[in-house]
């Protein structure tokens, strides 16, 4: 079993929670950040007792500098780092190129260091897009890049495809698998919020005055991290080549709002009860970047199944209502959402 693990992107939501769990298990963790001088003090505050079991390296997805040092002495890599903006970028290559090149860079340095286990944090974005005739998906599905998909969706699909092709050609003995989360919610550590958590924050602080006709599949950060840990620890034949979607079920935003009001009524007073007409979303889309993404999802169902992951790894995912409640309570406890 791996005792020293590189987790790329340790300041991110998934990366940070994975570092937290691995340190709690007694592992030694290396992590990469873009700016060590700025990020390491924050990481040391979060894990004050980690000492030499946490080593921080400055390494960029688009540059070789720092990667050899980061992988040195590691038994496995969890490649979590990937750009994920709130707004659609002006140029898709601002996302696609770093996602692909960063993944291939991490793989090359892992192979050069003799690392035999590599877990890529991919996404359901690489599974469930570009198929207008479908609304249910599983681990065997791939996003259709011949369709007009948004840049983030393309970036995750291209990165996972490129990784699998590279491993098959250059490192066939490496045990490679991917974890493919849907929208990730759950307790937060601080106010540096992921895109998914920012949506819940805006639902709960009144920033979203009405719920648009869109939905998402929900997963819990604790399940995402558990899947990563098991993918790092399980026998080779269990995880080699696998895709592990983490997902419970699809929920419309109005259903998410109802769940928040039902599970935490004393905290959900600002959660909108009205629905936003589609014409309002379409009217705002040219002027509000976030609405441009909402417009593309109006009425779409993308229900990604996590059953394969539960069956292969042998555990049950947390129910989405519990996840949403825990997200809200954490945001209030941290002072991020004011009641």
Strand 117-121, strand 76-79: pairing: parallel
* DSSP H helices in 234-306: 236-239, 253-263, 278-284, 289-297
What is the distance between the alpha carbons of residues 232 and 176, in angstroms, rounded to a whole number? 10
Q: Which residues pair with 119 in a beta bridge?
A: 78, 177
Q: For residues 99 and 113, what is the distance between their CA atoms, to the nearest angstrom?
A: 21
Which of 123, 294, 131 shows the shortest CA–CA distance to 214?
294
User: Which positions are annotated as active-site residues?
Assistant: 156
Pairing of strands 250-252, 215-220: antiparallel
Give the integer Cα–Cα distance in Å for 250 and 271: 19
Determine the Cα–Cα distance for residues 22 and 207; give it in Å rounded to an integer.
36
The burial class, CB within 10 Å (0-12 / 13-18 / 19+), for 123 is buried
φ, ψ of residue 91 to 5 degrees: the values are -125, 130
CA distance 57 to 109: 14
Q: Is the dihedral of CA 155, 158, 161, 165 positive or negative?
A: negative
CA angle 129, 133, 134 (to 5 degrees): 60
């Amino acid at each position: 079993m791996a005792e020293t693990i590189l987790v790329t992107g340790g300041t991110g939501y998934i990366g940070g929670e994975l570092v937290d769990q691995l340190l709690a298990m007694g592992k030694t963790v290396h992590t990469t950040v873009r700016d060590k001088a700025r990020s390491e003090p924050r990481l040391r505050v979060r894990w004050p007792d980690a000492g030499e079991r946490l080593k921080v390296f400055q390494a960029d997805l688009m540059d070789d500098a720092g990667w050899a040092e980061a992988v040195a002495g590691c038994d496995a890599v969890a490649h979590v780092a990937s750009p994920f903006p709130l707004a659609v970028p002006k140029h898709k290559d601002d996302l696609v190129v770093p996602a692909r090149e960063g993944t291939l860079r991490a793989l090359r340095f892992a192979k050069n260091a003799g690392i035999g286990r590599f877990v890529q944090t991919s996404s359901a974005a690489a599974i469930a897009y570009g198929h207008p005739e479908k609304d249910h998906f599983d681990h065997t599905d791939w996003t259709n890049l011949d369709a007009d998909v948004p840049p983030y969706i393309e970036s995750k699909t291209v990165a996972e495809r490129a990784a699998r092709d590279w491993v098959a050609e250059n490192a066939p003995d490496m045990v490679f698998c991917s974890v493919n989360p849907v929208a990730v919610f759950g307790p937060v550590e601080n106010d540096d919020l992921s895109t998914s958590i920012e949506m819940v924050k805006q639902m709960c602080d009144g920033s979203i005055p009405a719920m648009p006709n869109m939905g998402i599949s929900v997963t819990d950060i604790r399940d995402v991290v558990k899947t990563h840990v098991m993918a790092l620890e399980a026998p080779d034949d269990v995880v080699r080549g696998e895709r592990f979607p983490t997902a419970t079920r699809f929920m419309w935003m109005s259903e998410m709002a109802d769940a928040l009001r039902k599970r935490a009524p004393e905290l959900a007073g600002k959660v909108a009860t009205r629905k936003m007409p589609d014409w309002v979303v379409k009217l705002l889309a040219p002027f509000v970047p976030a609405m441009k993404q909402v417009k593309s999802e109006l009425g779409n169902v993308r229900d990604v199944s996590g059953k394969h992951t539960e069956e292969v790894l042998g555990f049950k995912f947390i129910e989405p209502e519990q996840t949403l409640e825990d997200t809200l309570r954490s945001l209030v406890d941290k002072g991020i959402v004011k009641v």
